[in-house]
Structure 1
């Protein structure tokens, strides 16, 4: 039976949820796949973990659930098998090769075929068993490597929300901003005199250069929305900065003899192709930021937190 795009995901769900025995060879697996493997007498899953399009956190959750897992690094099939029925589909388990998952995959046109012929199911089961024997066990080292590739894919994934207004997306808690390398960087002190002098020297090279003093763990290749909190709690927005793809640390020795690093970054006009202004952020996000700053900086210590994390403070 042919399954149209209108019914494709529902048919897969109807097959997987009640099944007591389940074998799946599905290239890419993402958040939400866990629900299909609960309360099974037996469940095996072959996925493609190494290309960066499978969510390694989901794989770890499936391991905890007792699902038997293997990796096939050139798998691109999507085959869902139960003892009496199988579906061959274009749909992955909540993810696809673009690194999209959850609501991000809406709008992608999928279809499949539902098969109940026992002879065809037997052939598919033989194919699955052969692939299972050829595939490799998933180790902790593979998962850690996959986390790096997954993060790269998520950062570079295409836009799925047509709204380009940054603050609107934040207030909507849009999944579009999830895992993007965009952060709020909060400080409470101005530069020391020595650092201020060094910054002025650097600005002879470029007016766009900015630095963060003794803050080596700032993320690379990321946008920083700079926030300064005064002694009475007033919030100032100084600018938007971009950190280099390869961290640039400038060593400096203070008059006290103490050595520090200056994290060099560059002032930018915006964040990718989002419509964003500091006035918009200040007027619409300021009160939410007060709550976030109170949690992340309880002792008035500098901190940075992602926009993704910040959105949980939106009520």
Structure 2
């Protein structure tokens, strides 16, 4: 039986529901896959071979599946980094096809996956199912136990892969929440104005930049943060876009603009007032955020969206509070507000 995107998931669920013993050699797994298995499979044994090492599998899903083993003793999970197959084998039927149980496969990881076309074959010939089972058993012998070390490494690769997936929006404010998640964009919200001493030090940093051999540094529009050291609880990340904005005493969000750190220009000085060392973190203005524009007018639109969330995270904090959080945190909050939870 030929499978397409219209019936692939239905037949896959039917296999999980009706077969007592199932072998899954499916490379990549995405959010929602663990729920599918938990709600659909109730057989005796399910062996799951995934590819955790290449960055295409969501490690959070694998963590959930490993935790599920305590409730489903017949569930076994191994990884094989050379795996690229998508094969599900039961005792009575098997599915061979293109679909992962992941983004771009059976439709998990949210709306960004809609529209991808999959194809496969549902096989009910007993001899062919036996051949597939022999093939799977040989791969299973090559599989490796999933350790915490493997999961941690996979999380880094997963986020890097998610951050580089294609975008369709050209404007940041028009991008969907699903397409912005895991992009490693940060929000830096500050409240105090700079001290006179910090302004002097920033001027010296500007002069240093003008003498730089790097055109990117020499021609950059610069700004800075005062007293935001790298050892703070929420440090300013390097090499990623930072949407910086001021949350003033009247609870207005202003000055929202994209920046990136220029660590080679960072400075430190001893405060005349306190006698302690103060950091000066230098920033260069960005013309785009992961390839999307953010005009002055669009910044005002984004600031309006951000304000209720900022009101909440700064509730009860003093005037000197500053926060640096991933954009994902705001997107989660906005999604929660939209759902009414």
TM-score scaled by length of structure 1: 0.88
Q: Helix, strand or coil for the counterpart of 1:84?
A: coil
State the match for 2:124 in structure 1: 116
Aligned match of 2:63 in 60, 64, 67? 60
Partner Cα separation in structure 1 for residue 29 and residue 37 of structure 2: 12
Structure 2 match to 1:266: 284
Judging changes above 3 Å, is the alpha-carbon distance between structure 1 residues 248 and 23 closer, same or farther for their aligned structure 2 residues? farther
* CA distance, structure 2, for counterparts of residue 258 and residue 64 of structure 1: 48
In the TM superposition, what whole-angstrom CA distance separates every residue of 1:254-313 from its partner, at most 9, and x where no partner exists? 23331233333211222133232232232x344432221123223041112333221232
Give the alignment partner of residue 154 of structure 1, picking from 140, 154, 162: 162
2:170 matches 1:164: yes
Alignment of 1:1-315 (within 5 A): 1-38=1-38, 39-40=41-42, 41-66=44-69, 67-95=75-103, 101-159=109-167, 162-169=168-175, 173-204=176-207, 205=209, 206=218, 208-215=221-228, 216=230, 217-243=235-261, 249-255=266-272, 256-282=274-300, 284-298=301-315, 299-300=317-318, 301-311=321-331, 312-313=333-334, 315=338
Residues 247 and 152 (structure 1 numbering): CA distance in 2 closer, same or farther, change over 3 Å? Answer: farther
Give me the whole-angstrom Cα distance separating, in 1, the residues matched to 2:310 and 2:286.
23
Does the CA-based 8 Å contact 2:254-2:303 persist in structure 1? no
Unaligned runs of 5+ in 1: none
Structure 1 residues 42, 82: closer, same or farther in 2, change over 3 A?
same
Alpha-carbon displacement from aligned partner over 1:131-154 (angstroms, at most 9, x marks no partner): 112211000110011111111111
The whole-number CA distance in structure 2 between the counterparts of 1:14 and 1:305 is 42
The Cα offsets for residues 58-90 of structure 1, whole Å up to 9 and x where unpaired, read as 100111111311110111111112221110111
Report the count of equivalent residues.
Answer: 306
> Does structure 2 retain, via aligned residues, the 8 Å contact 1:37–1:43?
no
CA RMSD of aligned residues (A): 2.4
- What's the CA shift for 1:14? 3.2
Structure 2: segments with no counterpart, 5+ residues? 70-74, 210-217
Decide whether aligned partners of structure 1 residues 68 and 142 sit closer, same or farther in structure 2, where only a CA change above 3 A counts.
same
Cα distance 1:65–1:153, how it changes in 2: closer, same or farther (>3 A)? same
Q: CA deviation at 1:249?
A: 4.6
Structure-2 change in CA distance of 1:232 and 1:174 (3 Å): closer
Summarize deviations over 1:146-179 as a string: whole Å, max 9, x none.
Answer: 11111111111122xx33332233xxx5311111
